Amino acid sequence: MIRALLTALAAALLYLSAAEAAAAPDPYTAPIPAIGASWYPEQWPEARWDTDLALMRRANFTVVRVGEFAWSRLEPRDGRFDFAWLDRAIAAAARHGIRVVIGTPTAAPPIWLTEAYPDVLRVNEDGSVEGHGERRQFSFASATYRRYATRIAGELARRYGRNPAVVGWQIDNEIGVPSFDREAKAQWALWLAARYGTIDALNRRWTTEYWSQRYDRFDQVPLKSRGPHNPALMLDFRRFVSTVWADYVGVQAAAIRAHADRRQFVTTNSTSWNNNFDQYLVHRDLDIAAWDDYVPNGRPDWAANALHHDLVRGYKNRNFWVMEAQPGRVDWASLNRSLEPGQVREIAWQAVGHGGDAIVYWQWRSAFNGQEQYHGTLLGPDGEPMPIYEEIARTGAEFAAAGRHLAGTIVPRAEIALIYSQESRWAIENERHSRDYDPVAALKDWYRPFAAAGRAVDVLSPSADLSGYRLVLAPNLNLLDEATAAWLETYVRSGGQLVLGPRSGMKDRDNGLWRQRQPGPLSGLLGARVDYYYPLDEPERIHGDVGVATVNTWAEVLDPRAPDVKTVARYTGGSGWLTGRPAIVSRPAGRGSITYVGAMLDVDGQEQLTAWMTARAGVSGPVIAPVAGLEVMERQDARTRYLILINHNDVPVVVTLPAKGRLVLGDLRGSELPAHGVLLWAISRSK
């Protein structure tokens, strides 16, 4: 376990490059785009299975996910495995032309395991112990649990790793909850020792003289997720948790690959903006990424959802799966409103447009009992289709028709990259300094104008390969180490246009303040620094090359130091610390430029900033003239570009399509795309 943690720590310091990820083989054999549902045959009489599978085929389903909560059925006693029922379920699915993703059942341990080894149960930060009957009640740090989890994963793979009906594996289900038990604390001390080498180094880098926090041994350092506490400890807690989860996923992946053939992918399913661990690290040992796309309030924010698809695609820089999606509604929101007619279909097509190769609905049929009996399903408890069934069946028919076109296609590399730093997000959220400063909301604000204009954006880690991008945006790069700064400087001097947002370069790798002011190690390249920062409780204004705009929540005053620094915008009006001072500055460097935006802008201001940035960087114009609420996405292969258009509006819109193309499928009526309409347009690529 110690060796695994040390190995994982070393890997945590180096992410896979985008080029390496893109070059990885892609042998997976699921139909593309695939559509299906989570199916729990263990919950229903076997005599019902063929009826269910026939209804799935009528809905044009091509895949089901099974097994992720069935540990007590798969291993009813310690070491006694019962796979016969799963054999029959997989065979039944195959007879109906449906392929299978198997979930390792480790999110819900059987009671014989937790009774025999109560130390595997998760200990919450308040000292309470989770009991049986929920899920994720295990300790991610437990060696005993790890041993049993790896064994069941390996036994499943031994049996189904070469089954032609099985196309992939999902490890666990929605991982992320840490434990504060004795083993976790012991591993925390070992992790710190591996990271810092000596306790003196930790004390120095954490500035533990503050509040008499100095430690004599690593095992004295508390394991804490909540402050107020040393910001370095708060950040390292997150890093430690990420390392343990990456190892947890990695050992199951290894157990599966020991028996599975290369046709079968290995993934895990994450949740929207999951903040429990570093996604890039946890996906290190996986083949593809997958996430669970839910709209709990029933009112989709299409641009925000598009951003998250792009984020997930960036975990591995390749196509991904939506492993759970809602068939109408959920049951865990404060108000579980259903999606409107047409929206389930458009959400499915949006996933495909951003690189999704499958959408799997949760779940197939309402369970008679259990904690999620009110959740949306395709069939009711009576086994008959629910109202959403026909819309999903239509989507499945379209996926089948599109399959021969979209198989083997990818989302082409964009001209614009948006940097997402999980560590910077943690650092800001730990010390917001303004209740309204939300780093995820800031990412959405920067992304929206590009989506509205029909311009694609790749979302990347700070260490990704940036070569070839015309414009790189870093709205929240709060933590900026010297290596990343050097990487960004190389990008700029090689001809790139880098735009930093507020709070960039405040912190070093240990979540400590840089000796120089913002943007820390990039201040020399910028030729300017942030003189001071001001949380706002009322709006301010700026004017300049980006027009006139309103500033909300956060304002920074820039201090140009080099003669070639250009002030792009200044604060105006009122009185006080901001008036007349630079809010946005830019400087040429090598063949490129670096810009610092010190203000959080309103919607109109962000749109004006976007127009200024794209024009300056020479970003290509959109393929289709922008229309409010019309999303334009692209997938391609060597021969054809495929445009996927979705009208997210409640009214029809007029679209102007490229002349040299043809309609593959969709709702186009003349030049109009109806409300919530979808179309797929093919353009042959020039030789």
Catalytic amino acids?
174, 324
Rounded Cα distance between 343 and 676, Å, is: 7
The torsion angles phi and psi of 666, rounded to 5 degrees, stand at 135, -165
CA 134 from chain centre, in angstroms, equals 25
How many angstroms separate the CA atoms of 71 and 111, rounded?
10
* Alpha carbon distance 70, 636 (integer Å): 39
Half-sphere exposure of 265 (CA within 13 A, CB side): 27
Cβ atoms 674, 372 nearer than 8 A: no
Q: Strands 582-589, 547-560: parallel, antiparallel or unpaired by DSSP?
A: unpaired
Instruction: Please identify which residue in the block is written with the tokens 């308040």.
Output: 126
- Give the whole-angstrom CA distance, residue 393 versus residue 399: 10
Distance of CA 300 to the CA centre of its chain: 17
C-alpha atoms less than 13 angstroms from C-alpha of 577 in its C-beta half-sphere? 13
Q: How far apart are CA 191 and CA 62, in angstroms?
A: 44
316, 286 contact by CB (below 8 A): yes
In the numeric block, the tokens 């709702």 are attached to 667
Please give the angle made by the CA atoms of 204, 207 and 208, to the nearest 5 degrees.
95
Provide the pairing of β-strand 662-666 with 166-170. unpaired
Nearest Cα residue to 328 out of 389, 380, 262, 412: 389
Rounded CA separation 76/110 (Å): 8
Are 497 and 617 in contact, with CB atoms under 8 Å apart?
A: yes
Using CB atoms within 10 Å of the CB of residue 229, give its burial: 0 to 12 exposed, 13 to 18 middle, 19+ buried. middle
Alpha carbons 304 and 307: distance in angstroms, whole number:
5
Q: How far is the C-alpha of 135 from the C-alpha of 173, rounded, in Å?
A: 9
Which residues, 6+ apart, have CB-to-CB distance to 647 below 8 Å?
A: 346, 629, 630, 653, 673, 674, 675, 676, 677, 678
CA atoms of 684 and 639, how far apart (whole Å): 6
Neighbours of 406 (CB within 10 A): 23
